[in-house]
Structure formats: C-alpha cells, structure tokens
Amino acid sequence: MIRVGPAVQSALARGEPVVALESTVLTHGLPRPDNLALGRRLEEIVRAGGAVPATVAVVAGELTVGIDDEAMQRLAERDAAKASLWNLASVVASGSDAGTTVATTLFAAARAGIAVFATGGLGGVHREAFDESADLTALARESVVTVCAGPKSVLDAAATLERLETSGVAVAGWRSEHLAGFLTPHTDLVVPTRCDDVEQVATLFHVQRDLGLPGGLVLSRPEPDGLEPAALAALLDAALADADTAGVRGKDVTPHLLRRLAERSDGATVHVNLRLLEGNAALAAEIAVAIARQRAFRAASTSPNEVPV
C-alpha cells in the first residue's frame, strides 16, 4: 500500500542518505504558486546537502514516498485533503489526493527505511483544551530523526515536552540547551541533550537503535531569524482572543491562529516559517549524510557475531 519512488528506492538500496519531507506545505501551507516553489526549493536544498529528497504525499489514493514533480504540481494546484494517521485509511480508500502531516510522514518514512525527516513545527498539546496531536504518538513509535523548530508556537510547549518525555521520545537541542520556540528562537524550557555537530546526532540515532529503543529523536533547531519572544507573545494573545471570540475549536484552532498571526505581523511569521523550513531541510541533509557514513563504517567493522543496525 506504500509506493516508494524510483529515485528514493534506488538511493535506499545503495545506502545513500535520504531525507523525508512532508507535503502539507504544498497543500495547506502557502497560497499558490508559492506552495509549489517552496516544495521544489526544499527538495533542492536537500540535494545540495548531499542527500536524496523524499516528499511524502497521498496521490490518487496511493501513499507515496518520493513523489515526482508532476505529482507535486498536482498537489499544489488542487484542493487536497490533509492525511493524518486517524484518517489515512479513509483518504487512501477514497482514491483522494492529500498532503501528509508530521505523523503520517513519519509513518511512511519509517516503513520505507528512511532515517531522517525535516519539518517546520511539531504538533503537540494544545493550550487550555484536551486536544493532542497524533504527531506525538508517531514520534514515540517511529525510529526516525525529526529535525524541527520545536512545537508550533500556538501550542503548550511545556506540556508537549512533558508528553514527549513520558512517551520515551529523545529530545535534543541543536547547539542549544533550550527547546526551540518555532517562530521564536528559544523557549525557556531546557532539553535533556545538546548536540553541537551532526556526528553527535548520528551517533545518538545509532545508539538508540542498538539499544532497541522505540521511537525517534527530535532535534530542536532554533531559527536565528525568529521573532522576539515578547513580540510573539503579544501577537499570540491577540490571536487566541480572536479564536475564542469566533468560537474556533478542535483541529481548526491551529490553522486559524497561524493565519491570524500572519495577518497581525504583516507577514513576518510567514517569513520566519519559510526560513526555518529551509534551515531544517539543510540540517537534515547533513544529518542523513552523517548517518549513512556511520552506518557504512559500522557495517564494514562489524564482527561476525554482531548484526549492524
């Protein structure tokens, strides 16, 4: 039920580095034609970093790891659904097109054998509501390095970090002791591990697998061009008040808040989002290269009684 594109399939067979990319940036992230330009740009950034991009999406009812440019155009130009784990079977069964969330992209990437995934912000625990993203469940299940800018700014970052810890998900900061704040560089939340180079990240990934630990590694990369925390807090308070007045609930809250943040900041939040997506893709490519290099070295030096992972 999962189709792996020929370029990705060939790269994986040869042990080459591959980076998974989600497709909601195409279907729900930006207006046309900016969405298509971004999708192509993220793939090009991954290639420039020495890895093979694998954008994941549902195309005509087929969950595909590594869509081609024709499929990317199709998704960018149509009104596609959004496929998370809870509705993935329904989307596939109906033969629909859909962008994939973090959770679904992780699910597909892990089954294809991809070790690294680049995204923008994580879904997590919502503020003042019993609403948690399926991203948290996928992060606890799939052995993949997820390069992100922390939980989306509209979420409860402290509760999200606590939930990740409870679920056994390793969280590391990229050259920082603090969890990244998505639209702002840092939160005041301290993460358990700091990684200062890609070899550290690759080693953590391999040791997790050696130990047989479930779940993946979240690498929180702060975006240097992010907004000042006080400025973002003021924007967010106003956006939350708007949502409450409008009676926005459930899955509609996050897109509503992000839209209001963009409007109130005169597009500054969109600019930050684009920069962090590009930066995360570039870092993910470097990590994928390091993981592939370490894997090849480990395979070459494995004793007859050991099994490389």
Q: Which amino acid is at 139?
A: L
pLDDT exceeds cutoff 90 at 249: no
Q: Is residue 150 domain-resident?
A: yes
What mean pLDDT comes out for the span 220-239? Answer: 95
Residue % of the chain over a pLDDT of 70 = 97
- Does 133 share its domain with 91? no
pLDDT for 307 equals 53
Token readout for 156 is: 């409860």
Cite the DSSP H helix spans in the chain: 6-13, 24, 34-48, 69-77, 88-93, 102-112, 134-141, 157-166, 198-211, 229-246, 253-264, 268-301
Q: Is residue 178 domain-resident?
A: yes
Annotated catalytic residue: which of 152, 223, 278, 286? 152
What mean pLDDT comes out for the span 99-115? Answer: 98
Q: Is 44 a catalytic residue?
A: no
Q: Is 199 a catalytic residue?
A: no
Burial of 19 (0-12, 13-18, 19+ CB in 10 A): buried
pLDDT for 256 equals 87
Final residue belonging to a domain, choices 66, 95, 114: 114
Final residue belonging to a domain, choices 90, 114, 138: 114
* Residue 252 vs residue 235, higher pLDDT: 235
pLDDT for 295 equals 97
CB-CB contact of 118 with 21 (8 Å)? yes
- Other beta carbons less than 10 A from residue 166's beta carbon: 10
The domain containing residue 21 runs over which residues? Answer: 1-114
Q: What does pLDDT average to over the chain?
A: 95
Q: Is residue 146 domain-resident?
A: yes
pLDDT for 105 equals 99
- Does 55 share its domain with 162? no
Q: Is residue 307 domain-resident?
A: no
- Does 128 share its domain with 91? no
Token readout for 20 is: 């998974």
- Does 164 share its domain with 215? yes
Q: Is residue 221 domain-resident?
A: yes
CA angle, 37 then 40 then 42, to 5°: 105
Final residue belonging to a domain, choices 64, 81, 114: 114
pTM to 2 decimal places: 0.95
Residues 273-288 pLDDT 10s: 999 999 999 999 999 9
What mean pLDDT comes out for the span 216-245? Answer: 94
pLDDT exceeds cutoff 90 at 243: no
Of the CA atoms within 13 Å of residue 269, those in its CB half-sphere come to 27
pLDDT for 139 equals 98
Annotated catalytic residue: which of 22, 223, 278, 286? 22
> Is the four-CA dihedral 249, 251, 257, 262 of positive or negative sign?
negative
- Does 55 share its domain with 178? no
- Does 159 share its domain with 241? yes
